[in-house]
Every structure is written in structure tokens, then in C-alpha cells.
Amino acid sequence: MNDKIIKNPFIKFNNEIIELPVLIRKKKNMKTKVSIIRFKPKPDCFDEFLENVKERSKERAMSTPPTHYLMTTPDEVIAIVLRTETELSESSSRGVNWLDTQRHLLLEYNEEDRHSIPLTGSLVEY
């Protein structure tokens, strides 16, 4: 067992090296946004799309705490994503770029929503 105690460990956050206590204070002051995104894979592409979205979100789903969850219904894959306000814009943009590579696996909901139905709002914390 190592007798050395790290008093102020550093961590990389948003391409910045920051002390862990400072990061915790910053994160407490950031509003958490929750996005729920519905996808409707073509019936013969359901498993392929589910595997693709699982692979894309694996790191965030396995993080501590997890920030990405998936659920399925008989005909939909639904992603639930937690992000800070500052992460939302960049993350959403990357998500749309990824979706462009997956559209061939999805059915359109309608002319307006097309291949996904996203809903984003602020997490209400107790």
C-alpha cells in the first residue's frame, strides 16, 4: 500500500488540467441538461443500429457516474444523455454528425422530425 496521500489530485476536464476540488466546485455550479433522443430503426436494422449506438456511447455509459443510458421499446431505441450546459452544444453537434452516418438504418418519424425525436431540458435536482 502506498503511504503517500495525494492532497490535490489533478484531472483533465474539457482539455484543461484542473485540481479535483476545483473541478467539483465548478461542476456543482453547472446546470445539468438531460436529453432524450428517440430513434426508430428499420425492423431489419434494429440490432445493427442498437450495437452502433452502444459502441458510440460505451465510454460515457461506463463512466462514473454514467452519463449515457439506453432503453428500447419493441420498435425504438431511446438514448438518455446527461451533460453540462457547456458540453451540450458541442456534444449535440457531434451527435448530429454521427446520426448522418446512421440514417440509412432508420425510419423517418415525419417530415419535420425526420430520423430522431430529441427532447432536452434542465435536470431538476432535489
* pLDDT tens-place string over residues 52-99: 999 999 999 898 888 899 999 999 999 999 998 888 888 888 999 999
Global pTM value: 0.74
> In this structure, is residue 35 part of a structural domain?
yes
Does residue 2 lie within any of the structural domains? no
Per the domain annotation, does 8 fall within a domain?
A: no
Enumerate residues 6+ apart whose C-beta is below 8 A from 86: 14, 30
What is the rounded radius of gyration, in angstroms, for the C-alpha atoms of the chain? 18
Rounded to whole angstroms, how far apart are CA atoms 107 and 111?
11
The domain that contains 36 carries what CATH number? Answer: 3.30.70.100
102 CB-near residues (< 8 Å, 6+ apart):
49, 52, 53, 115
Classify residue 25: in a domain, yes or no. no
What pLDDT sits at residue 25? 59
Q: Say if 111 falls within a structural domain.
A: yes
For residue 50, tell me if it sits in a domain.
yes
Range of the domain at 90: 31-122
Considering the domain boundaries, does residue 74 fall inside one?
yes
The total of structural domains in the chain comes to 1
